[in-house]
Amino acid sequence: MSITNQQLFDRAQRTIPGGVNSPVRAFRQVGGVPRFIDRAEGPYMIDAEGTRYIDYIGSWGPMIVGHAHPEVTAAVQKAATRSLSFGAPTADEIDMAEAICKLMPAVEQVRLVSSGTEAGMSAIRLARGFTGRDAIVKFEGCYHGHADSLLVKAGSGLLTFGNPSSGGVPADLAKHTLVLEFNNIAQIEELFAKRGSEIACVIVEPIAGNMNFIRGTQAWHQRLRALCTEHGAMLVWDEVMTGFRVALGGAQQVYGIRPDMVVMGKVIGGGMPLAAFGGRADVMAKLSPLGSVYQAGTLSGNPLAVAAGMAQLRLIQQPGFYERLSATTQKLMRGLEAAAARHGVPFCTDSEGGMFGFYFSTRLPQNYPDMADADVEVFKRFFHAMLDRGVYLAPSMFEAGFVSAAHGDVEIEATLSAADAAFAELAR
């Protein structure tokens, strides 16, 4: 063996803070050594030691057709020969905008950016610019990227403005963000009754994927929609994770609800740095160069990212794609539940399309406090028992999991057999 993950981790920590370029990759919640990935193919990732894993992270969502899909790779290679960036408009980015607007009816106009963070940050600026209001509402446990206004936790009381949840975020800025409990109708009603005229937007992950997998209830989402309409606030759905993942039309298709603005990322870039925000044409018209809200990007609409994204968007529009993806996810979920039951481990799952969550509990969580109560020690043991058997799950119980179209019966059976052994270890 030429090099180990441990050697790479030691070396990485000398020049990269914590050895990683995004914190969750450091395995802090589960302990142990992060796997340094050498390459990936279809449903598999292969680390620097040559060990192969069945991958249920999929780069945290984008890799819905599997790794190194020949059509996506070929599209990027072809685009690369025409230059890596122009900093000027292209016909291909119009194709992408048209595809997004067709697939997500709430998106009448869209702007391409390079990360979900950038998209979320820009959407909030636009909501503030459009409404002329400063306050925004988010929900505890939802993640919308690391823009300052969104790294905020709840204040001391329901109607108090939020406090920074990260060092470096000014309290003066955080005070404009109100943080409420996910799925709590009474709280949002009370807030709008008291402060409705101050609120620029409500931003929400329709199915939260950053506190494991927690569905917003239909009734709660309908109430959010109605309250925003009534008070002139923008309803912003963060579909960075759910978009083109839980269904072709995203969570909007699942719930049949039309937000005013939508934030997208992950799947639309096919694994390249590409994200987008869009929505009502009258709102998007406020954006520079038409309107007063500034937003820009050197690499926005990057030709390689657009090529990868378009290739992936073509693949996911093939007939039966989501039926097959959901069936694979369902097979995995039912199999995990059955394995846990065989060993008497309290366990349940939830999923939509190619996105899933599992919990060491008999009841599905409804909000962040439910998740925060979960037993992290059990999760850790399960995670390592699976990793030792070649199954790569998210190294945090606060993350959703992802299945790709490249996962077939062979991978699901192998995962379930690993899970059977892992649950047996937990039961001991």
Binding site residues, ligand PLP, CB under 6 A: 60, 115-117, 120, 143-145, 205, 209-210, 238, 240-241, 265, 275
**370 belongs to the catalytic site:** no
Q: What span, in angstroms and rounded, lies between the C-alpha atoms of 182 and 3?
A: 45
User: Could you confirm whether 388 is annotated as catalytic?
Assistant: no
102: helix, strand or coil: helix
User: 166 — phi, psi (to 5°)?
Assistant: -140, 145
Nearer to ligand PLP, 265 or 365 (CB): 265
Active-site hit among 44, 53, 56, 143: 143
- The answer to whether residues 420 and 399 touch, using CB atoms and an 8 Å cutoff, is no
Q: How far is the CB of 89 from ligand PLP (least distance, A)?
A: 23
DSSP 8-state symbol, 245: T
Measure the CA–CA gap between 344 and 332, rounded to whole angstroms. Answer: 18
Comparing CB distances to ligand PLP, the nearer of 209 and 279 is 209
3-state secondary structure of 117: helix
Q: Which of 393, 314, 409, 414 is nearest to 58 (CA)?
A: 393
Nearer to ligand PLP, 28 or 381 (CB): 28
Min. distance of Cβ 117 from ligand PLP in angstroms? 3
Compare residues 181 and 198 and give the one whose CB is closer to ligand PLP.
181
Beta bridge partners of 182: none
Cα first-last separation, the chain: 34
CB of 240 to ligand PLP, least distance (A): 3
Task: Spot the catalytic one: 47, 55, 238, 350.
Answer: 238
Shorter beta-carbon distance to ligand PLP: residue 117 or 252: 117
d(CA 236, CA 121) in angstroms, rounded, equals: 11
Rounded CA-CA distance 143/61 in Å is 14
- Closer to ligand PLP by CB, 21 or 160: give it: 21
Neighbour-count burial of 309, counting CB atoms closer than 10 A to its CB (0-12 exposed, 13-18 middle, 19+ buried): buried
Active site residue 238: yes
Which residue of the set 260, 266, 350, 359 is catalytic? 266
Buried/exposed 314-336: b ≥16 CB within 10 Å, e otherwise: ebbeeeebbeebbebbebbbebb
For the chain, helix, strand, coil in percent to 5 are: 45, 15, 40
Residues with catalytic function: 143, 238, 266
